[in-house]
């Protein structure tokens, strides 16, 4: 066994040496070649075989394979797709241990980038790719994919989490218009409640929906800089900005008339069920969640754009909040092919191929929203472009998972307790800080 | 105790040796010749010992060593730090408290129910059918049972069986015809305000001036179908209108009876003077009311609380307070059949003559049960009881599935916490191992008790 491992290490070294040996001579022509030769017909990566792993299945996988096809047509490299299933870490872990990683992997959380860099499993992106990232992404996204100043990953697919979905009939009955700021939202909620429909359907049993709500309000009231600090726990959760955001949330969560099925019912409602309460049983008017609510709304029998409409998360402070979730592409082998593929995915060209397919939203600022196939996605894309440097990544996904991604623990639990008792802003802040201290130590 | 354990380890070997030889087996020479040679014994023991070592001993030792380290793999020695945090973290203390409740309550209920079923099935005709039905839940996996009970405990009586039963029973005794969640229009301009769950006029009112009582937040499903467009009554006496002050599609003026706004029929209205109810009226289909034969003077008009009471909605089974009893209910449903079958088998083995002798001597049925059946059954009762204690200590799946995520902290038990901190997001396998060892220590005494019982049974 020891012999086998030594052999594997030797093989790994050989590959690394080969890659290093090649790097100065081949990578550069490749990069410049792929930029210039696209029209020419000479395919710089003819005969190269690549493997890319991502969690997508079904329609998402098919769409991604079309993007890969476009890459093959351009460069000649053959790309095979491997689906990791829901738990990307569980799939990649053994392959990294076995020294047989895919060339490129697409990670569902930026937190994994840091983790894999610590395991020496990722290769820093070459200067050409970094240049591509610089042209197409704001510095925030670049930093998100970087560890210790080196760029390892690039966000290639986004989920838009700053939306409020509403049932148009409920708004018509109450005679209200989609609000544009927080005070209008509170006022609209009051009017809808007066009309006999509880305005909000919160998904109290799914803690992540509450973190999304908090992140939107916090980004809006405290601004992007504080948001970054809080994401890294550089300011404590007892900071007054957190209290201000929680008080805003209490304005809509603190009134029993505003919540469908009251507080206890809300706490037992998980994510897709809260959408059903708006679009299936027509009991509530609004649900605050991401673009993927559309899927559940359609399942509940509502037509997106007619019955199921949305408005951008209203400004609660000075910033229009745009919070994204999304997937990060990383290179696990330092080969010209892997780098070229990451570069292609980060490029305007690759993004536009993808954008023309349904179910995709690009964080790339140079991918014009006009490319999206439907009106809804176009508007979503527009909000990302117009928010510019203020766009932020989902804070709870940047936190250690014990704090930001565990049922019954950390931020999820404390925000659920807060929803039960929205008057206790101070106690909530202290509980959040205590949990954060445990997770960040 | 160890003495006894050791003492009992020898006899089987000796008795087996004695069993095969008819002659006295006292001299060491004969014993050596008749027993297997050490090499053979080891050869036969080795596979079992090896498997036990790999699958039981090694994991236990490894878990214990791991529990002395922090979240990072063996890089951070924390000593007993993980054990200290088990007993200082309020979340983990809740899990210990819950486990305590489980261990005290669940085995007693399961064993008692099993005993009752077992004794009763002895006396009924369709005993086999009855036993089959009670035993049926054992055929369902605990996870499936959890899913079933998640639905049973659902808050809405339309979905949850438990609340459907409760509300049906409650509705046969009282029926509500009110307007739950409706409330007076708020604000300084509003002529009415909420008080003690009801609605009162802010200013005293007099005859001649119609009383306006604007109500908002009437849910479409409670709006009576016979409601007519609201009308302000005119004429003599103290009169007024209770109506839904909301124009469909917006645009109505607050506090004024606009075009299509509907009256709220069936509301009880009281005229109050000096804290005394002077007269009572009920609103008509257009929401209007009039107090007949009321002495002139100024009154406060009140809609009592009963108008706004929601019908009984059942219990919050999945809320933070009832969650553990609710899950224990599911556990009992699954295991009562198991207890019953074991106890029924034990009952069948009780000598009938002892029971008959007692009856002939004039003992009542209760005395027979109490003095004869239970003592004779006690070995089986104890086995069932101890098995249930071990089962409750390691309960995991039912809690995981039945408790909604928002009440998981209140329903949590040690086994579930162990999984959660190590794999379910916590990624702290040091603390997880410490919890595992803690659980082992809890289970161990009952295990030893069970083993001792089996030994005694063998000898």
Q: What is the pLDDT of residues B300-343, one digit of tens each?
A: 888 888 888 777 778 889 988 999 999 999 999 999 999 999 99
Closest CB to B250 among A175, A204, A416: A175
Q: Locate B44 and state its tokens.
A: 């036969």
Q: What share of chain A has pLDDT > 70, as a percent?
A: 90
Residue B167 has pLDDT above 70, yes or no: yes
pLDDT in tens, A401-413: 788 878 888 899 9
Q: In what order do the strands lie in the sheet with B211-216?
A: B183-184, B211-216, B239-244, B288-290
B82 vs B432: CA distance, rounded Å: 9
pTM here is 0.79
pLDDT category at B459 given cuts 50, 70, 90 is low
Report pLDDT for A4: 43
DSSP string, B2-52: HHHHHHHHHHHHHHHHHHH-SS---SHHHHHHHSPPHHHHHHHHHHHHHHH
Instruction: State the smallest CA–CA distance between residue A4 and chain B in angstroms.
Output: 24
Closest CB to A174 among B218, B250, B421: B250
The length of chain A in residues reads 441
Task: Spell out the domain ranges in chain A.
Answer: 47-159+325-392, 163-321+399-440
Q: Which residues of A touch B319 (CB under 8 A)?
A: 264, 267-268
A364 vs A154: CA distance, rounded Å: 10
Report pLDDT for A139: 86
Report pLDDT for A15: 41
- Residues B222-237, mean pLDDT to the nearest whole number: 80
B225 vs B204: CA distance, rounded Å: 32
Q: C-alpha distances in angstroms, B221 versus A24, A277, B206, B218?
A: 74, 15, 34, 8
Binary contact (B405, A412; C-beta < 8 A): yes
Closest CB to A205 among B156, B405, B421: B405
pLDDT category at A360 given cuts 50, 70, 90 is confident
| A17 vs B267 pLDDT, higher one | B267
- Residues B176-199, mean pLDDT to the nearest whole number: 80
Q: What is the mean pLDDT of chain B?
A: 84
Q: Which residues of A touch B185 (CB under 8 A)?
A: 194
- Out of A8-17, B62-71, B226-235, the most confident range is B62-71
B428 vs B67: CA distance, rounded Å: 10
B93 vs B89: CA distance, rounded Å: 6
DSSP string, A253-297: HS-GGGBTTHHHHHHT--HHHHHHHHHTS---SEE---TTHHHHH
pLDDT in tens, B90-129: 889 999 999 999 999 999 999 999 999 998 888 888 888 9
Q: Do A47-159+325-392 and A163-321+399-440 agree at the fold level?
A: yes
Report pLDDT for B11: 44
Report pLDDT for B177: 65
Binary contact (A265, B318; C-beta < 8 A): no
Report pLDDT for B176: 60
Q: What share of chain B has pLDDT > 70, as a percent?
A: 91
Binary contact (A267, B247; C-beta < 8 A): no
Interface subset of A 120-139, CB within 8 angstroms of B: none
Q: Locate A358 and state its tokens.
A: 């349904």
Which of A27-31, A367-371, B104-108, B424-428 is predicted least confidently?
A27-31
A68 vs A62: CA distance, rounded Å: 10
Whether the CB-CB separation of A285 and A198 falls below 8 Å is answered with yes
Residue A78 has pLDDT above 70, yes or no: yes
Interface subset of B 317-376, CB within 8 angstroms of A: 318-319
Q: How many CB atoms lie within 10 A of CB A431?
A: 19
Residue A297 has pLDDT above 90, yes or no: no
A322 contact partners, CB below 8 Å, separation of at least 6: A160, A162, A219, A312, A383, A384, A387, A390, A391, A392
| A28 vs B141 pLDDT, higher one | B141
pLDDT category at B57 given cuts 50, 70, 90 is very high
pLDDT in tens, B23-49: 444 455 545 557 778 888 899 999 999
**Statement: A47-159+325-392 belongs to CATH 3.40.190.10:** yes
Q: Give phi and psi for A320, each to the nearest 5.
A: -80, 115
B405 vs A407: CA distance, rounded Å: 6
Q: How many CB atoms lie within 10 A of CB B348?
A: 10
Whether the CB-CB separation of A380 and A416 falls below 8 Å is answered with no
Instruction: State the smallest CA–CA distance between residue A193 and chain B in angstroms.
Output: 6
pLDDT category at A105 given cuts 50, 70, 90 is very high
Whether the CB-CB separation of B406 and B414 falls below 8 Å is answered with no
A379 vs A251: CA distance, rounded Å: 28
Report pLDDT for A30: 40
Q: Is A118 on the interface with B (CB under 8 A)?
A: no
Instruction: State the smallest CA–CA distance between residue A47 and chain B in angstroms.
Output: 42
Whether the CB-CB separation of B116 and B374 falls below 8 Å is answered with no
Torsion of CA B63, B65, B69, B75, to 10 degrees: -110
Residue B3 has pLDDT above 50, yes or no: no
For helices A240-253 and A207-231, give the axis angle rounded to 10 degrees.
160
B436 vs B28: CA distance, rounded Å: 45
Query: In which element (H, E) is residue A75 found?
Result: helix A58-75
> Which of B398, B396, B404, B405 is CA-nearest to residue B439?
B396
Report pLDDT for B299: 86
A42 vs A34: CA distance, rounded Å: 9
Residue B10 has pLDDT above 50, yes or no: no
Task: Spell out the domain ranges in chain B.
Answer: 1-35, 82-165+317-427, 183-308
Pick the residue from chain B with its C-alpha nearest to A171: B249
Q: Which residues of B touch A439 (CB under 8 A)?
A: none
**Statement: B82-165+317-427 belongs to CATH 1.10.3720.10:** yes
| B17 vs A42 pLDDT, higher one | A42
Instruction: State the smallest CA–CA distance between residue B181 and chain A in angstroms.
Output: 7
Q: Is A401 on the interface with B (CB under 8 A)?
A: yes
Pick the residue from chain B with its C-alpha nearest to A172: B249
The CATH number given to A163-321+399-440 is 3.40.190.10
Query: In which element (H, E) is residue B136 found?
Result: none
3-state secondary structure (DSSP) of residue A156: strand
pLDDT category at A340 given cuts 50, 70, 90 is very high
């Amino acid at each position: 066994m020891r012999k086998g491992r030594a052999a594997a290490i030797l093989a790994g070294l050989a590959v690394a040496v080969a890659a290093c040996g090649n790097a100065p001579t081949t990578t550069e022509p490749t990069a410049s070649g792929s930029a210039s030769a696209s029209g020419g017909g000479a395919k710089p990566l003819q005969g190269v075989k690549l493997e890319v792993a991502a969690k997508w299945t079904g329609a998402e996988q098919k769409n991604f394979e079309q993007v890969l096809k476009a890459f093959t047509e351009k460069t000649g490299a053959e790309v095979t797709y491997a689906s990791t299933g829901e738990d990307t870490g569980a799939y990649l872990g053994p392959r990294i241990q076995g020294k047989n990683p895919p060339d490129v992997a697409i990670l569902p959380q930026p937190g994994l980038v840091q983790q894999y860099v610590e395991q020496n499993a990722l290769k820093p992106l070459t200067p050409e790719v970094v240049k591509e990232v610089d042209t197409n992404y704001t510095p925030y996204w670049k930093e998100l994919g970087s560890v210790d100043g080196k760029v390892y990953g690039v966000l290639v697919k986004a989920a838009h989490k700053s939306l409020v979905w509403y049932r148009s009939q409920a708004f018509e009955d109450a005679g209200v218009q989609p609000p544009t700021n927080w005070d209008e939202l509170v006022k609209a909620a009051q009017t809808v409640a007066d009309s006999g429909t509880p305005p909000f359907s919160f998904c109290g049993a799914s803690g992540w929906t509450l973190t999304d709500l908090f992140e939107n309000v916090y980004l809006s009231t405290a601004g992007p800089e504080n948001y970054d600090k809080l994401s890294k726990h550089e300011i404590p959760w007892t900071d007054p900005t957190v209290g201000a955001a929680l008080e805003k949330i209490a304005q809509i969560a603190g009134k029993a008339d505003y919540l469908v099925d009251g507080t206890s019912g809300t706490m037992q409602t998980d994510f897709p069920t809260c959408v059903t309460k708006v679009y299936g049983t027509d009991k509530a008017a609004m649900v605050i969640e991401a673009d993927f609510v559309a899927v559940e709304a359609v399942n509940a029998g509502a037509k997106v754009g007619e019955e199921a409409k949305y408005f951008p998360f209203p400004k609660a402070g000075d910033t229009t909040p745009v919070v994204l979730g999304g997937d990060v592409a990383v290179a696990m082998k330092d080969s010209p092919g892997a780098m070229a593929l990451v570069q292609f995915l980060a490029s305007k060209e690759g993004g536009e191929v993808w954008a023309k397919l349904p179910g995709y939203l690009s964080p790339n600022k140079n991918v014009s929203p006009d490319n999206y196939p439907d009106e809804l996605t176009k508007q979503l894309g527009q909000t990302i472009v117009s928010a510019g440097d203020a766009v932020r990544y989902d804070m709870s996904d940047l936190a250690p998972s014990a704090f930001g991604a565990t049922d019954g623990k950390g931020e999820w639990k404390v925000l659920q307790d807060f929803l039960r008792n929205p008057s206790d802003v101070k106690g909530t802040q202290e509980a959040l800080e205590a949990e954060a201290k445990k997770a960040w130590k | 105790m160890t003495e006894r354990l050791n003492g009992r380890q020898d006899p089987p070997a000796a008795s087996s040796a004695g069993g095969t030889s008819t002659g006295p087996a006292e001299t060491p020479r004969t014993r050596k010749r008749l027993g297997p040679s050490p090499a053979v014994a080891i050869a036969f023991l080795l596979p079992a010992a090896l498997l036990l070592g790999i699958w039981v001993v090694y994991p236990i030792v490894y878990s214990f060593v791991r529990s002395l380290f922090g979240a990072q793999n063996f890089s951070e020695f924390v000593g007993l730090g993980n054990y200290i945090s088990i007993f200082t973290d309020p979340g983990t203390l809740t899990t210990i408290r819950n486990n305590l409740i489980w261990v005290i309550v669940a085995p007693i209920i399961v064993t008692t129910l099993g005993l009752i079923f077992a004794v009763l099935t002895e006396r009924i005709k369709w005993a086999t059918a009855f036993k089959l039905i009670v035993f049926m839940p054992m055929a369902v996996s605990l996870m499936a049972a959890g899913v079933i009970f998640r639905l049973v405990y659902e808050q809405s009586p339309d979905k949850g069986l438990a609340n459907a039963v409760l509300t049906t029973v409650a509705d046969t005794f009282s029926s509500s015809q009110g307007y739950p969640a409706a409330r007076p229009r708020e604000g300084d301009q509003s002529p009415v305000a909420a008080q003690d769950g009801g609605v009162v006029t802010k200013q005293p009112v007099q005859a001649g001036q119609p009383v306006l009582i604007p109500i908002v937040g009437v849910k479409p499903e409670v709006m009576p179908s016979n409601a007519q467009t609201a009308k302000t009554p005119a004429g003599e006496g103290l009169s007024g209108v209770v109506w839904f002050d909301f124009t469909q599609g917006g645009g109505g003026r607050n506090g004024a009876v606009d075009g299509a706004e509907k009256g709220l029929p069936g509301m009880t209205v009281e005229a109050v003077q000096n804290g005394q109810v002077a007269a009572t009226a009920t609103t008509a289909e257009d929401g209007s009311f009039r107090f007949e034969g009321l002495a002139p003077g100024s009154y406060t008009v009140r809609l009592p609380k009963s108008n706004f009471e929601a019908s009984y909605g059942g219990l919050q089974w999945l809320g933070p307070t009832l969650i553990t009893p609710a899950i224990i209910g599911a556990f009992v449903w699954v295991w009562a059949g198991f207890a019953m079958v074991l106890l029924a088998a034990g009952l069948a083995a009780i000598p009938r003559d002892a029971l008959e002798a007692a009856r002939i001597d004039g003992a009542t049925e209760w005395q027979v049960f109490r003095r004869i059946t239970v003592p004779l059954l006690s070995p089986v009762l104890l086995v069932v009881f101890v098995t249930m204690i071990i089962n409750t200590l390691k309960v995991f799946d039912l809690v995981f599935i039945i408790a909604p995520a928002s009440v998981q902290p209140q329903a949590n038990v040690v086994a579930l916490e162990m999984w959660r901190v190590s794999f379910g997001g916590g990624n702290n396998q040091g603390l997880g191992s410490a919890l595992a060892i803690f659980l082992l220590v809890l289970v161990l005494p009952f295990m030893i008790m069970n083993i001792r019982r089996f030994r005694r049974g063998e000898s």
